[in-house]
């Protein structure tokens, strides 16, 4: 259906007030609110629905658009974060450009949070609807931007997550480049002995995975390689890879970040010396070579984590300690083992099984407190046992520290190249923890494995597959549409632009350039629509589509009662 051309047409806003069952209607008078909405400027139709998002509600929007010749639609209901796509689709089915829709949040940010003051909740809803209508009247239709897709992918990191993603994508028929910094694929798996659950042999597992990767079609492996530069945007990235000292340029449509994590340097923790007091990571090869002869082993959990410096739980250390303690017991059943822990996380039946077995085998668990850290002496550990409320003295001839996985020190550099964010601990930050866990906010770039958060092998594989699946949603198309609500320098504003280039410098995505004609130009596919340039533009020439100055100021004026 062709979209209505709004140019020169009278603005006709339709307002739909949702009861959301009793979630809204149970607290404020939706009928009265609907009547009020009908009195606002530019509103030609208003109605209330029991559930505007239901089939019935959506049909009534479409019918009203036709019957009243509406060219703007406002829905006052829940939150745009969950329901905006639905209503946008609804009005585009009714023949309107999807950007002519505006959302007013009167549930999550009104009735749900002001249940005990329904009178003032109603007042707030009235203001919010007035503001929403004011903005709606100023909305303009926008075009989505079409981008061609190069059906190939770059995967950064040749650990288990990266290899899983690479296998998945190459088997789907996409040309895939797998870049690994080290001279061998496999990442940390190469240094481990056995893997939980089921004590699978790590080298057997990783060798098989590597040989699958090496024999895969469409898959090119670049070891001893590092990404030096990334340009371009979704569907059309250009990457410079340094391979053994020389630069190789490759063009891909999507990028997956699977760089994994690093191990915290245990120096300074619990008298670590790398000999008698080692990390779990250093224990693995010793287990492999069956060289552990210790009679008394003590493991300390959360060594260096869950404190002010490293506030998070590294998630793999409890299982690593249980697995390694059981292996020691197996190799030498008379060994005494004590695991000093703060909390023990063994989620799911497979992992809990390790804990049960560990108890059966006589491994001792001592709960300590962050305020009373175990005191490691030359041959014994003094620890305050939380459960029995006294200090225990435990002798050892091998002390093993369960140190956390930490973000790679060069994550920031890669993040800068890719223009993606990292979080407070320097791990990569996904677009949304629940709704978009494998995506970055930047289109065409995805994430999997410990680069995002410490994960175990099975989780790394799942996340590698997940990132690959997300990448294939783009790679499987010849062209895709990207967000139209972005920055622009309208023809009419070009004379305002002084060419100061502050916008060029402030844009986090390098989406603004000065072109060969010495004019400011926005590379639309790169722009994410944050609006920073609009708030910065020294002569207010840039316009942020869908969040224009005019639209925002009309909301402010409406809030102030005008």
Partner 1 sequence: MSFEPKLLGFLCNWCSYAGADLAGVSRIQYPPNMRIIRVMCSGRVDPKFIIQALELGLDGVFVMGCHPGDCHYLDGNYEAEKKFEMTKKFLSLAGLEDRIRLDWVSASEGKRYSEVVTKFVNDIKELGPSPLNGEEPDEELLENVRAIKAAVSSERMRALVGRERKITEEENVYGEKFPEEKFNELMDLAIKEEYERHRILLALEKYSKSVKDLAKELDIDPSLVLEHMLVLKSRSQVDFGEIIGNTPVFIRL
- Rounded to a whole number of angstroms, the minimum distance from the CB of residue 403 to partner 1 is 23
Q: Are 405 and 454 in contact (CB under 8 A)?
A: yes
Q: In what order do the strands lie in the sheet with 246-252?
A: 225-233, 236-243, 246-252
Cα torsion angle, 387, 388, 390, 394, sign: negative
Instruction: Work out how close the CB of 132 gets to partner 1 at its nearest, in angstroms, rounded to a whole number.
Output: 10
Indicate the residue among 151 and 529 with the shorter CB distance to partner 1: 529
Give 200 or 506: the residue with its C-beta nearer to partner 1: 506
User: Please, which residue, 180 or 439, has the CB nearer to partner 1?
Assistant: 439
**What are 194's strand-pairing partners?**
201
User: Rule CB under 8 A: which residues touch partner 1?
Assistant: 79-81, 105, 107-110, 112-117, 120-121, 123-124, 127-128, 131, 419-424, 429, 431-433, 441, 485, 498, 500, 502-503, 505-506, 508-509, 528-532, 534-540, 544, 547, 549, 552-553, 555-557, 559-562
CB nearer partner 1, residue 145 or residue 535: 535
CA 126 to chain CA centroid, Å, is 35
Q: In angstroms, give the least distance from the CB of 265 to partner 1.
A: 22
What is the C-alpha separation between 425 and 82, in angstroms, rounded? 28
Rounded distance between C-alpha atoms, residue 501 and residue 61, angstroms = 44
CB of 202 to partner 1, least distance (A): 34
Q: How far apart are CA 322 and CA 344, in angstroms?
A: 10
Which residue lies nearer to partner 1 by CB, 178 or 310? 310
User: 238 forms bridges with which residues in the sheet?
Assistant: 231, 251
CB of 15 to partner 1, least distance (A): 17
Q: How far is the CB of 562 from partner 1 (least distance, A)?
A: 7
Based on CB atoms, which residue is closest to partner 1, 278 or 502?
502
To the nearest 5 percent, what fractions of the chain are helix, strand and coil? 35, 25, 40
Q: Nearer to partner 1 by C-beta: 253 or 531?
A: 531
Smallest distance from the beta carbon of 21 to partner 1, in angstroms?
15
Least Cβ distance, residue 503 to partner 1 (angstroms)? 8
| Sheet hosting strand 219-222, strand order edge to edge | 219-222, 175-179, 152-156, 254-257, 445-447
Of 85 and 285, nearer to partner 1 (C-beta) is 85
Is the CB of 311 or the CB of 362 nearer to partner 1? Answer: 311
Rounded alpha-carbon distances, angstroms, from residue 391 to 109, 253, 277, 400 = 51, 60, 21, 20
446 close to 429: Cβ distance less than 8 angstroms: no
- Which residues have C-beta within 8 Å of that of residue 22, sequence separation ≥ 6? none
By the 8 A CB rule, do 544 and 254 touch? no
Burial class (CB in 10 A: 0-12, 13-18, 19+), 386: middle
Peptide bond into 197 cis (omega under 30): yes
CB of 337 to partner 1, least distance (A): 37
């Amino acid at each position: 259906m062709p979209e209505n051309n709004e140019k020169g047409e009278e603005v006709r806003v339709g307002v739909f007030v949702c009861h959301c069952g009793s979630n809204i209607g149970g607290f404020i008078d939706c009928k009265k609110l609907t009547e009020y909405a009908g009195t606002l400027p530019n509103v030609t139709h208003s109605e209330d629905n029991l559930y505007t998002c239901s089939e019935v509600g959506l049909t009534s929007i479409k019918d009203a658009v036709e019957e009243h010749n509406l060219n703007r639609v406002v829905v006052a209901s829940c939150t745009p974060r969950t329901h905006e796509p639905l209503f946008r689709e609804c009005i585009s089915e009714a023949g309107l450009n999807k950007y002519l829709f505006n959302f007013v949040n009167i549930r999550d940010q009104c009735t749900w949070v002001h249940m005990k003051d329904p009178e003032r909740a109603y007042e707030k809803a009235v203001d919010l609807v007035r503001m929403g209508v004011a903005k709606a009247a100023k909305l303009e239709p926008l075009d989505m931007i079409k981008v061609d897709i190069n059906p190939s992918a770059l995967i950064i990191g040749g650990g288990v997550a990266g290899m899983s993603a690479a296998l998945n994508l190459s088997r789907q028929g996409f040309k895939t480049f797998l870049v690994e910094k080290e001279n061998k694929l496999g990442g940390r798996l190469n240094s481990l002995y056995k893997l939980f659950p089921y004590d699978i042999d790590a080298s057997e597992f990783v060798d098989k995975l590597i040989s699958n990767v090496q024999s895969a079609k469409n898959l090119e492996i670049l070891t001893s390689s590092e990404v030096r530069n990334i340009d371009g945007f979704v569907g059309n990235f250009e990457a410079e890879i340094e391979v053994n000292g020389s630069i190789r340029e490759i063009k891909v449509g999507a990028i997956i970040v699977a760089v994994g994590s690093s191990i915290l340097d245990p120096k300074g923790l619990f008298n670590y010396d790398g000999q008698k007091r080692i990390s779990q990571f250093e224990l693995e090869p010793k287990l492999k070579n069956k060289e552990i002869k210790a009679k008394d082993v003590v493991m300390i959990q959360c060594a260096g984590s869950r404190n002010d410096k490293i506030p998070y739980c590294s998630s793999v250390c409890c299982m690593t300690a249980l697995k390694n303690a059981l292996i020691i017991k197996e190799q030498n059943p008379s060994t005494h083992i004590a695991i000093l822990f703060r909390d023990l996380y063994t989620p799911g039946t497979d992992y809990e099984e390790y804990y049960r077995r560990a108890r059966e085998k006589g491994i001792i668990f001592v709960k300590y407190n962050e305020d009373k850290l175990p005191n490691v002496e030359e041959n014994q550990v003094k620890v305050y046992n939380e459960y029995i409320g006294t200090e225990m003295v435990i002798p050892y001839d091998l002390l093993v520290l369960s140190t956390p996985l930490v973000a790679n020190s060069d994550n920031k550099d890669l993040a800068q190249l890719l223009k993606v964010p990292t979080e407070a601990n320097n791990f990569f930050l996904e677009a949304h923890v629940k709704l978009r866990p494998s995506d970055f906010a930047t289109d065409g770039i995805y994430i999997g494995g410990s680069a995002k958060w410490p994960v175990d092998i099975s989780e790394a594989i799942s996340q590698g597959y997940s990132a690959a699946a997300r990448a294939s949603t783009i790679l499987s198309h010849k062209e895709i549409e990207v967000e139209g609500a972005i920055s622009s320098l309208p023809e009419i504003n070009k004379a305002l632009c002084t060419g100061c280039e502050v916008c060029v410098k402030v844009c986090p995505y390098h989406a603004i350039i000065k072109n060969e004609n010495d004019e400011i130009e926005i590379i639309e596919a790169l722009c994410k629509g944050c609006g920073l340039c609009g708030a910065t533009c020294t002569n207010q020439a840039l316009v942020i589509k869908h969040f224009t100055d005019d639209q925002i100021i009309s909301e402010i004026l409406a809030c102030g009662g005008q």
